[in-house]
Structure 1
Amino acid sequence: MLRIVAYHRDAAVEYARKWAFQRNPAYYNFENLGGDCTNFASQCLYAGSGVMNYTPTYGWYYNSSSDRSPSWTGVIYLYQFLTQNKGPGPFATETDASEMMPGDIIQLGDQTGRFYHSPVVVAVEPDEIYVAAHTFDAFMRPLSSYVYDRIRFLHIEGVRKYQ
């Protein structure tokens, strides 16, 4: 039976702090294969959730660079997984900036509607959201310092796991 458990935001942020400017050797670095930002976001999500979803094609998991779900490293696929997941793992709702909390995910896009970057929220202040990211490595980078045409805010609601 699936049960909803807490998402450990502090663990996600601590993971981001530790690995923002280096690479965890347990995961492949996709920097030269389209970017490492969503891989890093997934690692942070996993640090906060502790649950992967091994559903073929539509799940969210990483075993190796050649044995992973599209959602682990692909911006659009991570969005689809988080907003549509009814199985194990983290799940999210698309919301607005006022609902952001540390450990949440932001996705940046261009004017055509293509989303290309997945920074992780690490701090929220009344007038600024701060993020961590790979590809353009950052920790505590103000969201306002990014240039983008579109943005979406993904608030992690919780984690489903089998009990």
Structure 2
Amino acid sequence: MLTNSLYNLSFLLSMPYNNINLISKHKYNLDDTILKEIYLKKLFNFEWAKKLNSSFKDYKFDYAYNILEQIPSFIKVKLILKTSFIVKTYPQNINSVSINEYILILEYLQDKCKIQFIAENEENPLLYEHILNTDLSSLVNSRNFNKNSNINVYKDKLSSIDSLFEMFIASSWLSTNNHDEKRASKFNVTDACDYAERFSLNYNPEYKSFSGIGGDCTNFMSQIIHAGGFSQNATWKPYTHAWIRVEELYQYLITQKLEATKLPNDKSLDRGCLIQFYTPSIGRYFHNGFITYRLQNGDCLYCCHSYDKLNYPLSQIYPNRYPTLRALKFD
């Protein structure tokens, strides 16, 4: 019963809008509010991809789960969902993978298991951590776990999709008219991108992982930059603050004359750029990624840890999830 519910949910979360629209909602055993929210999110992503002329195919998924806590009639579960698809682009198609973590609360009702709450770690990290660290009995007694709908958020995004698109194409990050001329550099972009792709999903065992204990995204960025040719020193080495913390890495790179240029500065995002995402709910830059491809439609693909992603489209999260980002380009 639980396995069937989680399989059906994983299918729903991983498939694009045009694949799920023909399927009866009754098979999912979801709270109606949650189902509507997922539907609106899928619809927005579908319309957004059409705006950008993005083309994805061959969606697949795999999942695993851990039962965190169980009381009579209720269960709290961590779901780890791996979604893969192909980014259709010329001259080659590119494999893209995203691994997302969810906290679920399910209720046993007669012969079925109904999903009453769902929170994704990247989309709502504070709520995710709250539900993760709060006793299930307290959550059930208060019944406040199912009052966090983002339905109005996605309605607003759908109604403002034209303005979001204008923001996207006008962004200096993604301009197609201001690429720099290639020149000699001590930073090897190819080596850095190769490292990012190799270890985005399978962590390098030669380094400690900080996943689950503060996040591994900055640790991974430092590994990539080091693979690209930058030497370690007393300030920037495993596992100093400059190596593992978002803000400290950024400040180190722009002040230590490592030829890291802030963007925008008559430059645009391209392969080899470090990007940092501002998380509104937390109120600071909280996450990093590394650009591995730039596509013909102006989009970019990136790799990261903690919200593990391999060659994931930047347009899927910017500006609709992360409205602000900053970036460094290594000269």
Counterpart position of 2:223: 43
Specify the alignment match of 2:237 in structure 1: 61
Q: Equivalents in 2 of 1:132, 1:49: separation in Å? A: 18
Cα pair distance change 1:119/1:106, threshold 3 Å:
same
Deviations 1:15-74 (A, max 9, x none): 0111011111111110011111111111110000141122xxxx2111xxxxx2201110
Q: How does 1:10-89 map to 2 (within 5 A)?
A: 10-54=190-234, 59-62=235-238, 68-86=239-257
Q: Which of the pair is proportionally richer in strand?
A: 1
Provide runs of 4+ in structure 1 moved above 6 Å. none
Question: Is structure 2 residue 188 aligned with structure 1 residue 8?
Answer: yes
Contact kept? 1:44, 1:103, Cα under 8 Å: no
Q: Does 2:94 correspond to 1:94? A: no
* Aligned match of 1:160: none
Q: How many residues align?
A: 142
The structural deviation recorded for 1:96 is 2.6
State the AA in 2 paired with 1:108: F
Alpha-carbon distance between aligned partners in 1 of 2:277 and 2:254, rounded to the nearest angstrom: 16
Following superposition, the deviation at residue 124 of structure 1 comes to 1.1
CA deviation after TM superposition for structure 1 residue 100, in Å: 2.1
Q: Distance in 2 between matches of 1:100 and 1:8?
A: 16
CA displacement at 1:110 relative to structure 2: 2.5
Q: Which runs of 5+ in 1 are unaligned?
A: 63-67, 158-163
By relative contact order (CA 8 Å, sep 6+), the higher-ranking structure is 1
Distance (Å, rounded) in 2 between the aligned partners of 1:34 and 1:107: 16
Q: What SS does the aligned partner of 1:155 have?
A: strand
Q: What is the rounded CA distance, in whole Å, between the counterparts of 1:60 and 1:91 in structure 2?
A: 15
2: CA distance between counterparts of 1:155 and 1:14?
Answer: 17
Alignment partners' CA distance in 2, 1:47 and 1:91? 16
Could you say which structure has the higher helix fraction?
A: 2
CA distance in structure 1 between the partners assigned to 2:286 and 2:293 by the alignment: 22
1:155 partner amino acid:
K
Q: TM-score, normalised by structure 1?
A: 0.80
Give identity over the alignment, percent: 30
Counterpart of 1:35, as a letter, is: G
- 1:87-133: CA deviations, max 9, x gaps? xxx44111139522212100000337500111011011241011000
1:134 correspondence with 2:305? yes
3-state DSSP class of the match of 1:118?
strand
Q: 2:326 and 2:294 mapped to 1: Cα distance? A: 16
Cα RMSD (Å) of the superposition? 1.9
Bigger-Rg structure (1/2): 2
Provide the rounded CA distance (Å) in 1 between the counterparts of 2:224 and 2:272: 8
Alpha-carbon contact 1:113-1:150 (below 8 Å) kept: no
Match of 2:293 in 1: 123
Of 315, 318, 327, the residue aligned with 1:144 is 315
CA distance in 2, matches of 1:95, 1:141: 21
Distance in 2 between residues matched to 1:149 and 1:7, nearest whole Å? 29
Who is 1:161 aligned against?
none
